[in-house]
Amino acid sequence: MTQEEARIKGVGASPGIAIGRAYLIDRRKVKTPKRHITASEVEGEQRRFDDALRRSHEQLERVKQKLAERASGDDPFQILEAHQLILRDEHLVEPTLRSIAEEHVNAEWALRKTVEHIKGIFDSVDDQYFRERRSDVDFVGDRVLRNLLGMEQPLAPPPDAIVVAHELSPADIAQLQRAAIAGFLTDVGGKTSHTAILARAVELPAVVGLEDITHRVGNGDLIIIDGTEGEAILHPSAPLVAQYRGRARQHAAREEEQLKTRDLESITRDGHRVRLMANVELNEEVPSALEHGAEGVGLYRTEFLFLGRTSIPTEEDHYQLARRVLDLVGHRPVTFRTFDLGGEKAAAALGQHAPREANPALGLRSVRLCLRERGLFKAQLRGLLRASVHGEVKIMFPMISGVGELREVLAVLDEVKRDLSIEGVAFRPDVPVGIMIEMPSAAMTADLLAPHVSFFAVGTNDLIQYSLAIDRVNEHVGYLYEPLHPAILRQLRFVVQSAHAAGVPVCVCGEMAGEALFLPVLLGLGVDELSMNSLAIPVVKAAIRAADYLASCELAAHVVDLPTASDVESAVRAARD
């Protein structure tokens, strides 16, 4: 009997189309044994734990090395390095050893108790992005536990399989990519999980958050993955398979054609130049960004160093991160945004010092947190300045509200520079320093802020939300998230005019930058640089090369006087057609 075709909606974690046969992987939690030990057994049990940590570290190192070989010498996956850091983290190791010694329990049970405690800290975080970091601790704990129990098993799906699992770790994805699978589906997960990020980095189509996909699929079932739409199609008909194979070929041909523009200039038909940069969160994304034509990194989100760890990153951590990025990009510039962390996001690292706030989005976050936690802030600035001698480093401060706050931040930077000079540590004293314009207060005082910085970067995501007083992920008010709202366009116009009057270039690095529909307006407003997801770069470059700058200026001058976002969009679409 033919099984009925079914479409299941999930979260598109990584774009692309994949067609293949299901291969189920059981990654359910291993049952943790509990037994009491005698005082004479404590030392031996602690050695067992140390040995399991060592084996776990070696396993991850082997995965990294194999991936490095496959990637022609590029840096091994940074997410796996983060998991290795967790293996050495004192908040994982010391409580486990202490439980073995003081409670006289076996290593497996002591480890479980520690992992559950750390996960509880992450669970208290309100932000979904950082809540998903709990899975990293879970993955590491599971690997150590399997080594304690002698259960570590390699993943060996056939090539072109569609892997289906309840949950997959980043290490799993790394191994599965080497096995040349077509894509994967999971019951749980989100777009910002490390597993999803790594899937995008290796361009592996994936849909997550499917809830019960492991119960609905059997080994060998035919499946279509549409990672762009976030959809899994079970038991597709032959005509539907043919249709999706055609889409996959069209996508591949379109991608191949777009990649031919990689080395072409992003310049309009009448000779206006706009630089195209990539927004990057992990080093693994850099090779893909360069392949898609990025001229550098316009926004490097340094929050990664906080993820999956329970201790504050050190100066050396910041230095090594920056060095790796600079090595990957070569002569191209990299703009490092200092920590854009809310108090709730930093809870795992700041522990009891982390604030508990009713509205953290408007509370102690970003530079406000950095100015309170000066040691954390200075460690990052020292690391970035030390790395500046190795490439084109630019430093950017987020969530600046006005000149007073900017002066305070620049004073800290000057203090760090003086300290490094006294210590005889090499750095570039003329490192370009810029700010994010993402608050209405900053946008409306752009003329006062511009003389103090080397560049502006407009974070349109937050600027829109703060200006229109809406949460774009709230289904009740999401319809009010309007990038073409006259209030947004008028703020952008004033920011660009103020910056250019002071000789300061402007970059747009929010979601608006990667939408070809918005390009004529941004061009016409005079934006100098656009930074976006690397996959959007070829599309935006093609739009720039087909655009006319003078016509865009006329369009922008017209639409800023229109009364509604829908009126603006209609005018933009009419001009495009």
Name the active-site residue from 83, 318, 370, 509. Answer: 509
81's tokens: 């390095």
* DSSP calls for 513-550: GG-GGGHHHHHHHT--EEEE-GGGHHHHHHHHHH--HH
358's tokens: 């009713």
Parallel, antiparallel, or unpaired for β 231-234 and 6-9? antiparallel
215 is catalytic: no
Picking from 97, 125, 129, 128, the residue whose alpha carbon sits closest to that of residue 110 is 97
d(CA 211, CA 207): 11
* DSSP calls for 194-232: HHHHHHHHTT--EEE--SSHHHH--TT-EEEEETTTTEE
d(CA 39, CA 261): 68
Name the active-site residue from 166, 194, 292, 318. Answer: 194
Q: What is the largest distance, in Å, between two alpha-carbon atoms of the chain?
A: 83
Phi and psi of 13, rounded to 5°?
Answer: -85, -30
Instruction: Specify the residue for token string 């209609």.
Output: 570
Q: Which H or E run includes 397?
A: strand 392-397
161's tokens: 């399989």
Q: Which H or E run includes 145?
A: helix 134-148
Q: Which H or E run includes 57?
A: helix 42-70
370 is catalytic: no
Instruction: Specify the residue for token string 């809870």.
Output: 347
Catalytic machinery residues: 194, 509
